[in-house]
A and B are shown apart, each in its own frame.
Chain A
Amino acid sequence: MTELTVNGAPVTVASDGDTPLLTVLRDELGLVGSRFGCGQGLCGACFVNVDGTVMPACQTPLGQVAGQGVTTVEGLSRDGTPHPVQQAILDRQAAQCGFCISGIVVRAAALLAEEPDADADRVAEALDRNLCRCGAQRRIIGAVLAARDLT
């Protein structure tokens, strides 16, 4: 049994310590917002925030986050109010298929928390490990800047 905090709530999970956190989130906890894209930590679709550090859940063994606080995309909206990055993406329709968006929201939210004045180049650089195949990159960068201006 491993204890950790997920989106503010303490949880105890039965998976082995070497099970990828992504599998625990999706299969054991039913939190499917973190998406499986590559299983190799190369696309960013499963990014989660672990006590302030953004990491690919697919490459993070459960044992490594025992006792720590994990925030997934589901944990970014509060009481039904979307995170400003999510709201800006919706306002600007800055997505096509949306499969990459969960990880981008997690990464961008962490960026704006650390660097509230990030500019377009900085946003692009921060999203360097997130892939988007539909070609929504420029819209997404614009949405993150709009979220920055909202907060």
Chain B
Amino acid sequence: MSDLPAHVIDNPHLGTWLSVADGLLEVHVGKVELGQGILTALAQIAADALGVPLPAIRMVAAHTTDGPDEGLTAGSLSVLQAGPALRHVGAVVRALAGPSEPVTSYVERVAALDPHTDLTSVAPAGAAETRSVGRSEARLDLPDKVLGRPRYLADLRPEGLLHGRVLRPPSPGARLVELDQGWKATGVELVRDGSFVGVVGEREADVDRALEQLRRDTTWAEEDSLPDEDDLPAWLREGPHEVIEVVDEGAPDEVALTASYSRPFLLHASIAPSVGMAVWRDGVLHVWSHSQGIHALRDAIAQALELAREDVAVEHVENAGCYGHNAADDAAFDAVLLARAVPGRPVQSRWTRPDELTWGPLSSAMTATVSAGLVDGRITGWAYDVWSQGHTARPGFRGTPGLLAGAHLAVPVPMPAATDPPLPGGGGTTRNAVPLYDVGPRRVTGHRKARTPLRSSAMRALGAHLNVFAIESFMDELAETAGVDPVRFRLDHLTDPRAAHVVETAAHLAGWDDPLPEDVGRGLGFARYKDNGAWCAVVAEVAVGSNVRVRRLTVVADLGTVVNPDGARNQLEGGATQATSWTVKERVRFDRRRVTSDDWERYPILSFAEAPLVDVHLVESDAPSIGAGEAAQGPTAAAIANAVHGALRVRVRDLPLTAESIVRAIEAQE
């Protein structure tokens, strides 16, 4: 059976995927709930595959010993990867235990199946009836969250729980030089290993107070190691770099236009600080984490502490929204190190807000230069270079654990500069760096900075935010040079019908040719995420006064078959709104020593009053499903920048699109 889903081949036993409890079919998946609604979408697929109504299903959170290893929950791949596996599991179960009605006796027959059944050696039943897939089923996790019930990791209160806090160094590269041997604080125990210092105690109030006391009572050696935040493009272009050749069909013969674009460092800025929980008991280390990849986290912890993998178990518990590799894994490792000092007691360790905003991995600043030939309204060649730090430093990257506290231990575990996912997986620095347009010969090259004091890793869309912003801004600049309407110009260079369809539909739904008031502009951005994911076009309507006000976004996406239409719309709305925040407001601030944007006033994000109206249109399709979560990020940025140009006739090439950057662009234009 060569067409078996990869995740079934990797996890071939029935019991890894399915169990029965309380008369319900418990479905175990390796994908994790990040606030994106994935457990609901996968429950819908599982219900249909097993031939039961949705309420007969209970989803079980990912667990390294009790569930399948499905890798990371990232890259908008969950439905694509986990969906086929669940369909196969369901088809095998129906073949062995069917018919699926009445449900009660079917569930009893499923309960009697051998959990060691090899899913790869049973002929599956035929395709099941589609009952739940395609419906906007309500999210299974939302009632707990909306009614204020315990649901998040920080809400867990196991027997004997201790609270923990870690004192992070004041700046990257800082070393602890002085802490009195006899340091004491009320109700806590000190845990120290090199520059890793923390406290554990019975009461949260005590550990919070002790942390502040510890901050006052420590002396650190710091150095000025950070770049000039006002000159990041020049700094990014300074070597050494690792060169990523994406495509090389030769440079354009004659260059008609050249432009450079940039964005600053950005933050995940999740509403909850990261939390971890761990207990060392009976020779096994048990960890609770909101990591995107619990198996990789288990391996990294085992590697860092020289434990056998089998002696570490990691279980997923939800936290606030996760948009990439944030501090979840680091917080889990903090809890592990603190809990090691109090064997048998679970320790829950929560980061502070300033630490979350300064010590979590950043999303790299980036800059790109693009040149093209243009003859009679046709692009005749394209050269694109992009400079960036790497976009992945996940646990296990470059063969290292990649866990923050490791770098602070007395015997430190090295933490090299971030790398990128491989090109076939979409790359990182060069994600969406190749235009989908017919542009003649192309040369596209990434330049990944090999040394940096600032830690960076994967955040929603990775390099695609800057690359699509650059390419789609440049398409408008070329269209203007050619004297052609930007939508027409794009369509003239698109051969992919699904691409042309989303562009045309977005322009149509947004009233592309309708007149606009003065100081209001309209712009379009388009991309096919990772070149193999969703097609997405966004039209932005922007009013420019004392700042950039995004009034409305029209988002059109082709996601293939949509499992949960409202869930997909919610992801696209949220993605477009978050990308608006990145594009018009956000910038990590630092001086030459410390990251200074350490609270919500110094790292402001989009407020309720600033949030645009978002209209989402999903293209009807029965093609295979592709993910929605990251598709809108790049097109939204480009659409807003193009709309700002529409309103002001000023081309702003450096993000964020604040009053300050617009003034600089006006000065440069004059």
**B483 located at the interface, meaning its Cβ lies under 8 Å from any Cβ of chain A in the complex:** no
The segment out of B437-445, B508-516, B603-611 that lies at the interface is B603-611
**B649 located at the interface, meaning its Cβ lies under 8 Å from any Cβ of chain A in the complex:** no
| Nearest Cβ on chain B to A123's Cβ, whole angstroms | 8
List the A side residues contacting B151 at CB < 8 Å.
98
Q: How many A-B residue pairs have CB under 8 A?
A: 182
| Nearest Cβ on chain A to B276's Cβ, whole angstroms | 15
Contact between A33 and B148 (Cβ–Cβ < 8 Å)? yes
List the A side residues contacting B37 at CB < 8 Å.
96
Task: Using CB atoms, name the residue of chain A closest to B157.
Answer: A30
| Nearest Cβ on chain A to B417's Cβ, whole angstroms | 27
Contact between A36 and B272 (Cβ–Cβ < 8 Å)? yes
| Nearest Cβ on chain B to A130's Cβ, whole angstroms | 7
Knowing A98-B142, A133-B320, A135-B575 are in contact, say whether A124-B157 is a contact too (CB < 8 A): no
C-alpha spacing A128/B323, complex, angstroms: 23
Knowing A34-B148, A82-B147, A135-B576 are in contact, say whether A23-B208 is a contact too (CB < 8 A): yes
| Nearest Cβ on chain A to B28's Cβ, whole angstroms | 22
With beta carbons under 8 angstroms apart, the residue of B155, B573, B599 that contacts A42 is B599
Contact between B600 and A98 (Cβ–Cβ < 8 Å)? no
| Nearest Cβ on chain A to B584's Cβ, whole angstroms | 13
Task: Using CB atoms, name the residue of chain B closest to A95.
Answer: B142
Task: Using CB atoms, name the residue of chain B closest to A24.
Answer: B205
Q: CB-defined interface of A4-15 with B at 8 Å, one 1/0 digit per residue?
A: 000000000001
Q: CB-defined interface of A114-128 with B at 8 Å, one 1/0 digit per residue?
A: 000000010111011
**B237 located at the interface, meaning its Cβ lies under 8 Å from any Cβ of chain A in the complex:** no
**B203 located at the interface, meaning its Cβ lies under 8 Å from any Cβ of chain A in the complex:** yes
List the B side residues contacting A136 at CB < 8 Å.
570, 573-574, 577
| Nearest Cβ on chain B to A81's Cβ, whole angstroms | 10
Contact between B570 and A93 (Cβ–Cβ < 8 Å)? yes
Contact between A97 and B35 (Cβ–Cβ < 8 Å)? yes
**B380 located at the interface, meaning its Cβ lies under 8 Å from any Cβ of chain A in the complex:** no
**B143 located at the interface, meaning its Cβ lies under 8 Å from any Cβ of chain A in the complex:** yes
C-alpha spacing A45/B154, complex, angstroms: 13
List the A side residues contacting B272 at CB < 8 Å.
35-37, 45, 99
List the B side residues contacting A140 at CB < 8 Å.
608
List the B side residues contacting A73 at CB < 8 Å.
147-148
Contact between A137 and B600 (Cβ–Cβ < 8 Å)? no
**A86 located at the interface, meaning its Cβ lies under 8 Å from any Cβ of chain B in the complex:** yes
Q: CB-defined interface of B240-284 with A at 8 Å, one 1/0 digit per residue?
A: 000000000000000000000000000001111100000000000
Contact between B146 and A40 (Cβ–Cβ < 8 Å)? no
Task: Using CB atoms, name the residue of chain B closest to A16.
Answer: B205
Contact between B142 and A135 (Cβ–Cβ < 8 Å)? no
Task: Using CB atoms, name the residue of chain A closest to B600.
Answer: A42
Contact between A38 and B573 (Cβ–Cβ < 8 Å)? no
Contact between A90 and B146 (Cβ–Cβ < 8 Å)? yes
C-alpha spacing A135/B460, complex, angstroms: 13
Task: Using CB atoms, name the residue of chain A closest to B136.
Answer: A93
List the A side residues contacting B101 at CB < 8 Å.
none
List the A side residues contacting B155 at CB < 8 Å.
32
With beta carbons under 8 angstroms apart, the residue of B136, B157, B608 that contacts A127 is B608
| Nearest Cβ on chain B to A111's Cβ, whole angstroms | 12
C-alpha spacing A95/B142, complex, angstroms: 8
Which of chain A's residues 99-116 have a Cβ closer than 8 Å to chain B?
Answer: 99-102, 105
Which of chain B's residues 146-178 have a Cβ closer than 8 Å to chain A?
Answer: 146-152, 154-155, 157, 163
Contact between B142 and A72 (Cβ–Cβ < 8 Å)? no
**B219 located at the interface, meaning its Cβ lies under 8 Å from any Cβ of chain A in the complex:** no
Contact between B353 and A128 (Cβ–Cβ < 8 Å)? no
Contact between B148 and A99 (Cβ–Cβ < 8 Å)? no
Contact between B154 and A36 (Cβ–Cβ < 8 Å)? yes
Which of chain B's residues 592-634 have a Cβ closer than 8 Å to chain A?
Answer: 599-601, 605-609, 611-614
List the A side residues contacting B606 at CB < 8 Å.
135, 137
C-alpha spacing A133/B319, complex, angstroms: 13
| Nearest Cβ on chain B to A134's Cβ, whole angstroms | 4
**A39 located at the interface, meaning its Cβ lies under 8 Å from any Cβ of chain B in the complex:** yes
C-alpha spacing A135/B599, complex, angstroms: 19
Knowing A93-B139, A95-B146 are in contact, say whether A141-B599 is a contact too (CB < 8 A): no
Contact between A95 and B599 (Cβ–Cβ < 8 Å)? no
**A27 located at the interface, meaning its Cβ lies under 8 Å from any Cβ of chain B in the complex:** yes
| Nearest Cβ on chain A to B389's Cβ, whole angstroms | 22
| Nearest Cβ on chain B to A5's Cβ, whole angstroms | 18
C-alpha spacing A125/B151, complex, angstroms: 29
Which of chain B's residues 26-74 have a Cβ closer than 8 Å to chain A?
Answer: 34-37
Contact between A27 and B148 (Cβ–Cβ < 8 Å)? no
**B477 located at the interface, meaning its Cβ lies under 8 Å from any Cβ of chain A in the complex:** no
Contact between B205 and A89 (Cβ–Cβ < 8 Å)? no
| Nearest Cβ on chain A to B352's Cβ, whole angstroms | 7
**B115 located at the interface, meaning its Cβ lies under 8 Å from any Cβ of chain A in the complex:** no
Contact between A135 and B574 (Cβ–Cβ < 8 Å)? yes
| Nearest Cβ on chain A to B578's Cβ, whole angstroms | 4
Contact between A134 and B609 (Cβ–Cβ < 8 Å)? no
Of B157, B323, B609, most A-chain CB atoms within 10 Å: B609
Contact between A27 and B205 (Cβ–Cβ < 8 Å)? yes
| Nearest Cβ on chain A to B554's Cβ, whole angstroms | 13
| Nearest Cβ on chain A to B501's Cβ, whole angstroms | 25
With beta carbons under 8 angstroms apart, the residue of A34, A36, A90, A137 that contacts B608 is A137
Contact between A138 and B577 (Cβ–Cβ < 8 Å)? yes
Contact between B145 and A101 (Cβ–Cβ < 8 Å)? yes
**B350 located at the interface, meaning its Cβ lies under 8 Å from any Cβ of chain A in the complex:** yes
List the B side residues contacting A26 at CB < 8 Å.
204
**B504 located at the interface, meaning its Cβ lies under 8 Å from any Cβ of chain A in the complex:** no
List the A side residues contacting B36 at CB < 8 Å.
96
Contact between A23 and B614 (Cβ–Cβ < 8 Å)? no
| Nearest Cβ on chain A to B202's Cβ, whole angstroms | 10
Contact between B271 and A135 (Cβ–Cβ < 8 Å)? no
**A19 located at the interface, meaning its Cβ lies under 8 Å from any Cβ of chain B in the complex:** yes
**A132 located at the interface, meaning its Cβ lies under 8 Å from any Cβ of chain B in the complex:** yes
Contact between A134 and B321 (Cβ–Cβ < 8 Å)? yes
Contact between A125 and B609 (Cβ–Cβ < 8 Å)? yes
Task: Using CB atoms, name the residue of chain B closest to A37.
Answer: B271
Contact between A134 and B574 (Cβ–Cβ < 8 Å)? yes
A-B contact pairs, 10 of them (CB 8 A): A30-B157, A32-B150, A32-B157, A37-B271, A38-B273, A39-B353, A93-B567, A97-B322, A100-B320, A136-B574
Point out residues on B near A: beta carbons under 8 Å: 34-37, 136, 138-139, 141-143, 145-152, 154-155, 157, 163, 203-205, 208, 269-273, 318-323, 350, 352-353, 566-567, 570-571, 573-578, 580-581, 599-601, 605-609, 611-614
Apart from A76-B148, A99-B319, list 16 A-B contacts with CB within 8 A: A20-B205, A27-B204, A37-B273, A93-B139, A95-B142, A95-B146, A96-B570, A98-B35, A98-B145, A128-B607, A131-B605, A133-B320, A134-B574, A135-B574, A137-B606, A140-B608
Point out residues on A near B: beta carbons under 8 Å: 15-16, 19-20, 23, 26-27, 30, 32-40, 42-43, 45, 72-74, 76-77, 82, 86, 89-90, 93, 95-102, 105, 121, 123-125, 127-128, 130-141
Q: Which A-B residue pairs are the 6 nearest by beta carbons? A: A33-B148, A97-B35, A98-B145, A135-B577, A99-B320, A135-B574
